[in-house]
Structure 1
């Protein structure tokens, strides 16, 4: 009986560890780690790499704020929150959300980027991890959606947008989107591999789809061979995710780490 209790105790400890962080993953075969962010700062994220996303007029950024309550560093995690606005009287937005990006500070090109995050759920919650080009306009410059989750879904959406898919509406030749199963109560690893002729997407090391460069007479099919910056945001509401349930708030997105790999030299 004592041996059983000890085994049960160890199992509970391991379960708590799994729920509290990402498992340590090995460097993917054929890749070498070029850069990583572990969010081990105690008070604030690294301002040399990250900035708070300013408010805009789109669904994805219309509640963005620099209000401290939407950001925190907790036990080696970056925490981004979506909250009801009860205190900022000079701000007419009903909700406030936190998001960060590397725009103008760090860009990624021709490599594999991985993000480990836990996506806590709420009705109207729309956490996203995605990429935009440093020097091109949307949609002609492209958009890489590494992860989007809606409400209480047990899947994540992964999508590419461009002039070809958005303006011309050609979304299935080749397929420009897919989904991957996530662990709703645990941390998940979302990844995209960027190469000159394709984008390959993964959820927890399971390949979901590849978007290739193809030969076509139409313009703007593959604008992804250029530097992109990373965005991580905890947005609320919008035409896609639907209405927010205030009683479900606050809601958090917890980011454990970001890693960028490059191909090993074959020389």
Structure 2
């Protein structure tokens, strides 16, 4: 087939237009019956946009090994990159006699980042879509999740759109929700799918980007991975002992890469490690 110079010019203009659309974040897919109310396409090089994201700092939860710091989150080539590093960092809150694990460690041996939209973007109900490539090396604990804006954990409600960590020594993909319980700290509705199930379908799974989706209404939360339903949570069963349902309030988004703890052993893992996010999009039904 022959092409004229004019045809090549048209083709070049078209490709350039497509590239501009992607760089400007205008390629967010439309969902019939829904409006796109918020999106982060990570098209601004440098650091996560402070209009959207705040950073956690230091040791935070679950006896994890990493020290969270903003330096480990960057935006490049249209992706959020959260980097896990083997890095020696002094703990400024260290107390030699403390029984609090956050203070009893004089140094952190690993660093990572955790970003969230609290106070900058919060939403109640809708569809969340996140396209990401997770790091599945030993010790990695990447997550996409939400927390309710009112009450302390777990009474505020937690939705784990994606978690990857070790369960009984087995690499596992999880899709969960948690709320308060009268006799124990938290009640969980959990889906735990062995990672081997995904590898059996596609041995190249870890090297690819995948799409996680949460469909949240007043009646249910449904969590999907690449179109496959992983878990459905009945929200008529998620009321705290005080009568408050934490999934009938606004939530905010979190993206993080934890290291160690449930993630597994880090000793033989090569660093740095990378958790990459292509986009985060939130849709709500057209009223």
- C-alpha distance 138-216 of structure 1, shift in aligned 2 (>3 A): closer
Q: Which residue of 2 aligns with 1:261?
A: 283
Q: How does 1:171-210 map to 2 (within 5 A)?
A: 171=188, 176-179=189-192, 183-210=205-232
SS of the equivalent of 1:214 reads helix
- C-alpha distance 45-216 of structure 1, shift in aligned 2 (>3 A): closer
Higher-strand-fraction structure: 2
Equivalent residues of 1:82, 1:252 under 8 A apart: yes
Q: Which residue of 2 aligns with 1:160?
A: 177
Q: How does 1:14-25 map to 2 (within 5 A)?
A: none
Q: Report the RMSD for the aligned CA atoms in angstroms.
A: 2.8
TM-score (norm 1): 0.78
Q: Which residue of 2 aligns with 1:51?
A: 54
SS of the equivalent of 1:113 reads strand
- C-alpha distance 170-129 of structure 1, shift in aligned 2 (>3 A): closer
Q: Tell me how far apart the structure 1 counterparts of residues 253 and 264 of structure 2 sit (CA, whole Å).
A: 25
Offset at 1:217?
9.2
Q: Tell me how far apart the structure 1 counterparts of residues 219 and 139 of structure 2 sit (CA, whole Å).
A: 36
More displaced 10-residue stretch of structure 1: 108-117 or 160-169: 160-169
| Structure 1 unaligned regions, length at least 5 | 1-23
Pairing 1:237–2:260 present: yes
More displaced 10-residue stretch of structure 1: 184-193 or 29-38: 29-38
Equivalent residues of 2:239, 2:246 under 8 A apart: no
Deviation beyond 6 Å, 4+ runs, structure 1: 151-154, 215-218
Q: Which residue of 1 aligns with 2:76?
A: 74
SS of the equivalent of 1:259 reads strand
Q: Tell me how far apart the structure 2 counterparts of residues 217 and 150 of structure 1 sit (CA, whole Å).
A: 27
Q: Which residue of 2 aligns with 1:100?
A: 115
Q: Tell me how far apart the structure 2 counterparts of residues 252 and 102 of structure 1 sit (CA, whole Å).
A: 21
Q: Which residue of 2 aligns with 1:127?
A: 142
Offset at 1:232?
0.3
TM-score (norm 2): 0.73
Q: How does 1:99-118 map to 2 (within 5 A)?
A: 99-118=114-133
More displaced 10-residue stretch of structure 1: 254-263 or 117-126: 117-126
- From 146, 149, 155, the counterpart of 1:140: 155
Q: Tell me how far apart the structure 2 counterparts of residues 60 and 166 of structure 1 sit (CA, whole Å).
A: 23
- C-alpha distance 165-212 of structure 1, shift in aligned 2 (>3 A): farther
Pairing 1:226–2:228 present: no
Q: Tell me how far apart the structure 2 counterparts of residues 166 and 123 of structure 1 sit (CA, whole Å).
A: 34
- C-alpha distance 148-166 of structure 1, shift in aligned 2 (>3 A): farther
Q: Tell me how far apart the structure 2 counterparts of residues 165 and 156 of structure 1 sit (CA, whole Å).
A: 28
- C-alpha distance 60-134 of structure 1, shift in aligned 2 (>3 A): farther
Q: Tell me how far apart the structure 2 counterparts of residues 76 and 165 of structure 1 sit (CA, whole Å).
A: 45
- How many equivalent pairs are there? 235
- C-alpha distance 212-54 of structure 1, shift in aligned 2 (>3 A): same
Per-residue CA shift, 1:68-121, capped at 9, x if unaligned?
Answer: 2x12211010100111014x4567101111111111211121111111110022
- From 235, 248, 256, the counterpart of 1:213: 235
